[in-house]
Amino acid sequence: MNKLQELQKITDSVDGWLTPREGEFLYNAAKKCPKGTVIVEIGSWKGKSTIWLGSGSKEGNRAVIYAIDPHTGSSEHRKSFGKVWTFGKFKKNIKKAGIADVVVPVVKTSEAAAKDWKKKVGFLWIDGAHEYEMVLLDYKLWEPHLVNGGVIAFHDSQTKGPRRVVKKHLYCGSKFKNVGFIEGVTYATKVGRITAADKARNLYAFLLTTVYSLAGRVPLPKFVKVIGNKMAKIFQAN
């Protein structure tokens, strides 16, 4: 059993909403996190994504993961589960996974945690509340701390709130290049200022992801889907 298979087995028993391919993306992103920077995770729930991040970090530069979550659930969680408190389960899961030494739990809202923040962020993972206003707030609070060359990623980016933020600030913005997607994750590399070629590639990626999304809902000839899937791989993480 290789490392990724081992992680999949561990995280299968952890409550959360993350596919194996999305987990592998987090693992690789954390592994490549630039030296001298940290990883910020907005929305930890019970630690499923944190485990992938922590495991990748330990294989790379051991970037510390600041796992930010009030652990009282988002409005979405409270609608589904009522009163929520997940911190105990979170601590148990990261300890069991052997990553507690690279994880700093921050039991606060994203907004509270951002106050007086000074550290350089090499990887920013946004998976908090999914209402547009909340996703936008997370982006505005934390993007300034992301270093040039750092990576930002949004989970559930096909849903309404994250999709609006991703479209405006990644695909159609001026600070990020190499926008790509893998299942429900959209990611990009911060450069401060993009070139005309970067912008054209980002817009092409946006068109492709739109078609790719529609293809999952609208019946298409098999050969069209095959071509679309091959093209989509260009913009997906290795």
Q: Residue 197 falls within a domain, yes or no? A: yes
Q: Residue 24 falls within a domain, yes or no? A: yes
Query: What is d(CA 150, CA 143) in angstroms, rounded to the nearest whole number?
Result: 10
Count of domains for the chain: 1
111 pLDDT exceeds 50? yes
pLDDT digits (tens, 9 = 90+) for 71-95: 997 767 666 667 889 999 999 999 9
pLDDT digits (tens, 9 = 90+) for 193-228: 999 999 999 999 999 888 767 665 555 555 555 555
pLDDT of residue 27: 98
pLDDT of residue 210: 83
* 205/235: higher pLDDT: 205
pLDDT of residue 164: 97
pLDDT of residue 203: 95
pLDDT digits (tens, 9 = 90+) for 139-179: 999 999 999 999 999 999 999 999 999 999 999 999 999 99
Q: What is the mean pLDDT of residues 124-128?
A: 98
Q: Distance from first CA to last CA of the chain, Å, rounded?
A: 20
Closest CA to 25 of 192, 120, 153, 114: 153
pLDDT of residue 215: 61
- The partner residues of 105 in beta bridges, in order of sequence, read 67
10 contacts: CB under 8 Å, gap ≥ 6: 51, 96, 97
What's the sign of the alpha-carbon dihedral 110, 105, 107, 112?
negative
pLDDT of residue 238: 41
40 pLDDT exceeds 80? yes
236 pLDDT exceeds 60? no
What CATH number did the domain enclosing 120 receive? 3.40.50.150
pLDDT digits (tens, 9 = 90+) for 168-186: 999 999 999 999 999 999 9
Query: What is d(CA 105, CA 102) in angstroms, rounded to the nearest whole number?
Result: 10
Q: Residue 238 falls within a domain, yes or no? A: no
**pLDDT class of 234 with cuts at 50, 70, 90:** low
Containing domain of residue 172, as a range?
3-233
